[in-house]
Amino acid sequence: MSKTETHTVDAVEYDSETPLRMQADWSGTETLDSAITCAISRATGESVTELAPLYEYMDPDALHEFVASMRDRETETSITFQYEGHDVTVRSDGEIMVWPPR
């Protein structure tokens, strides 16, 4: 059995085999861009300023529009994309999951 490191961030555990899970605050002032960047920062241990801008990986305006449309649906919806070598899933309930690189 391999040893995995576990990090606890705001009561969220992340190890080498499961995603880091964070909850975006749809009602707050935090933008989706900053929530995703913060999640990647926590997953990688890199400063937010060391990460490439999200727009280098996808169109943030299109992402915002899609996520806004997801929140109005009755069924659970999500979108997954790659950012900084990680798969990132954003769910309609605001959960952001960052999967370890493969």
pTM, to two decimals: 0.77
Q: Per residue in 62-86, pLDDT tens?
A: 988 888 888 777 778 899 999 999 9
By three-state DSSP, how is residue 14 classified? strand
Between residues 69 and 98, which one has the greater pLDDT?
98
**Tokens matching residue 84:** 């900084």
Q: How far apart are CA 68 and CA 48, in angstroms?
A: 24
Identify which of 29, 5, 24, 1 has the alpha carbon closest to the alpha carbon of residue 88. Answer: 24
Q: Per residue in 1-40, pLDDT tens?
A: 333 333 334 434 555 578 999 988 777 777 888 899 999 9
